[in-house]
Amino acid sequence: MSQLASHDGIVVLDFETSGMSPLQGDRAIEIGAVRIVGGAIVDRFQSLMNPGRRISGFIEAYTGISNAMVQAAPPAAEVMAAFDDFIGEDPLVAHNASFDRRFLDAELQRIDRCRRQAFACSLLVARRLYPEAPNHKLSTLVAYKGLPTDGRFHRALADAEMTAHLWLCMGQDLRDAYGFEQVPFALMSALATQKKHRVEAFLRERAMRSGR
């Protein structure tokens, strides 16, 4: 685990979990994250975590994370405290962010902490930028855009790194298409909320404003 924290970056994260919802008692079992500063990945965080319960055979097969691995991992509370220190005040990004946000908030609540920053969804941004893609799953977008990958999916750090490459690619595509000098987190977050028919006008308006 890295202890580096920065106020000038974006943290892209991914959770592997025991199920779909913390409201149903599901827990995080692995966290992976990368920090982007100045258009490059500059730091990483990865750890399995022990939630104090067994995980199902389905999750073992889906993620490759076994009960033995989870039982040997640090307690979830210890990992989440270190991860909260890692992210600091940096804004957050995840693919299908509503899922990861629910688990982040639930796990932080267990250690009497709370998220302080905005959380953006790369899946929603990709839907606005690449409506012609076959679908907007991370694996599909990685192949569609020819992004770097080691071929592993459903492990937290690998998925976080691929999501980071997708986020950087989308920023570059916006610069190329609309002439933005910079594509800040706030612009990407706002783009994700636009109706499909408004995307082109929204981006042209923002590009005109940024060029003044």
Q: What local confidence, expressed as pLDDT, does residue 151 receive? A: 65
Say yes or no: domain 1-212 is CATH 3.40.50.2300. no
- Token digits of residue 138: 């991370």
**Close Cβ partners of 180 (under 8 Å, ≥ 6 residues apart):** 174, 187, 206, 207, 210
Q: What local confidence, expressed as pLDDT, does residue 150 receive? A: 75
For the whole model, what pTM was predicted?
A: 0.93
Q: 39-45, long-range: CB within 8 Å, 24+ apart, which pairs?
A: 39/168, 39/171, 41/161, 41/164, 42/6, 42/9, 43/2, 43/4, 43/6, 44/2, 44/157, 44/161, 45/1, 45/2, 45/82, 45/83, 45/86
Q: What local confidence, expressed as pLDDT, does residue 3 receive? A: 37
Q: How is the chain split among helix, strand and coil, in percent rounded to 5? A: 50, 15, 35
Q: What local confidence, expressed as pLDDT, does residue 149 receive? A: 83
Return mean pLDDT, the chain.
93
Q: What's the pLDDT tens digit per position in 164-212?
A: 999 999 999 999 999 999 999 999 999 999 999 999 999 999 999 987 4
Average pLDDT, stretch 88-104? 97
Lowest-confidence pick of 56-60, 96-100, 178-182, 207-211: 207-211
Provide the 10 A C-beta neighbour count for residue 88: 15
Q: Is 92 a residue whose pLDDT tops 60?
A: yes
Average pLDDT, stretch 103-109? 98
Phi, psi of 70 (to 5 degrees): -65, -40
**In terms of Cα–Cα distance, which of 195, 77, 30, 65 is closest to 127?**
195
DSSP 6-61: -SSSEEEEEEEESSS-GGGT--EEEEEEEEEETTEEEEEEEEE-B-SS---HHHHH
Q: Is 2 a residue whose pLDDT tops 60?
A: no
